[in-house]
Amino acid sequence: MSRACSQEPDAKADLTRVPPGAALQDRATRRPAAPEPLGDLRYRALMGAGAWEALSPDVRRRFSHRLAGGQSVIYSGQILETRLNLFGRLLVTAARLIGAPFPLRSYAAGEPTVVTVTEDRTSQGQFWTRLYGWGGGFPQIVHSSKRFAGPTGLEEYVGRGVGVALSLHAVEGALVFRSAGYFFSVFGLRLSLPKRLSPGALEAIHRDLGASRFHFTLTLTHPWFGCLLHQTALFHDSNDVPSGGGEEGHR
């Protein structure tokens, strides 16, 4: 049986071509490689080294950018599908009171979307801005703030003091955010929302597709009212994404 062609050359054949002492000389003159710049370590610290390494390399890269105060990273793409059931539409309408954190279209596909992540110098968290280019001449813009705090180490505030604790998981190379309790923050007090009043289980999945692209899925599922919201989108890395790195990462 013939051996398949390999990109790696045969080791024995290579050694016969090396002049005596060349390997030692090369080793003596070779400079040690410069260490890779240390990025943002906060997501890695929350997940643990094992779960972090289970993520796809490009997922790790996107969630370890070290953004200095005021810097942003931008991802642009296209909505593949947005779907709301009846109870989802009622929830979306009611949520306008806290800033409309959910997509307002019941059914949508093909519209442009842009996500911007900006470092928050005050809280040491991140501002997330999502733009939906709905038809009709005016976009929808959703603002939220991720803070590295709370019982799970990560919370997302969507407006009017309403927030959700998030847990992080590595599933088949994808990064998965899952809700771990909703709450109100009023005058410095944190009030947990009873489970029976919860809007449902929130899950967001960031899955790398290669070629600087990734797939994003957002679902909100209620134990009684089913799938309230299902949205999928395809994004690509912006050409002007900062390379990240620095002398010290976030601790």
Is 249 contained in some domain?
Answer: no
Which structural domain, as residue segments, surrounds residue 49? 42-237
% the chain with pLDDT above 90: 71
> What is the domain count for the chain?
1
What pLDDT is recorded for position 38?
60
Q: Looking at the predicted structure, is the pLDDT value of residue 92 above 90?
A: yes
Q: What is the pLDDT of residue 121?
A: 87
- Write 236-241 long-range contacts (CB < 8 A, 24+): 236/75, 236/76, 236/77, 236/212, 237/62, 237/75, 237/212, 237/213, 238/73, 238/74, 238/75, 238/76, 240/74, 241/65, 241/73, 241/74
| pTM (two decimals) | 0.80
Average pLDDT, the chain: 84
Asked, for residue 189, whether it belongs to a domain, the answer is yes
Query: What three-state secondary structure class fits 47?
Result: helix
Q: Does 34 map to a domain?
A: no
Q: What is the pLDDT of residues 45-54, one digit of tens each?
A: 999 999 999 9
Higher pLDDT, 24 or 219: 219
Highest mean pLDDT among 18-22, 70-74, 200-204: 200-204
Percent of the chain with pLDDT over 70: 79
Q: What is the CATH number of the domain that holds 67?
A: 2.40.128.20
Contacts of 129 (CB under 8 A, 6+ apart): 115, 116, 118, 141, 142, 143
What pLDDT is recorded for position 240? 46
In a domain, 17, yes or no: no
Residue 35 within a domain: no
d(CA 10, CA 121): 53
For the stretch 135-169, pLDDT in tens is 877 899 999 999 999 999 999 999 999 999 999 99
* 124 band by pLDDT with thresholds 50, 70 and 90: confident
Whether 114 is covered by a domain: the verdict is yes
Among the listed residues 165, 168, 131, 133, the one whose alpha carbon sits nearest the alpha carbon of residue 151: 165
Torsion of CA 243, 172, 234, 182, to 10 degrees: -90
Q: Is residue 100 in a domain?
A: yes
CB atoms within 10 A of CB 15: 9
Please give the residue that has the higher pLDDT: either 198 or 242.
Answer: 198
User: Tell me: the pLDDT tens digits for 5-41?
Assistant: 433 333 333 333 334 444 444 444 444 444 445 689 9
Per the domain annotation, does 37 fall within a domain? no
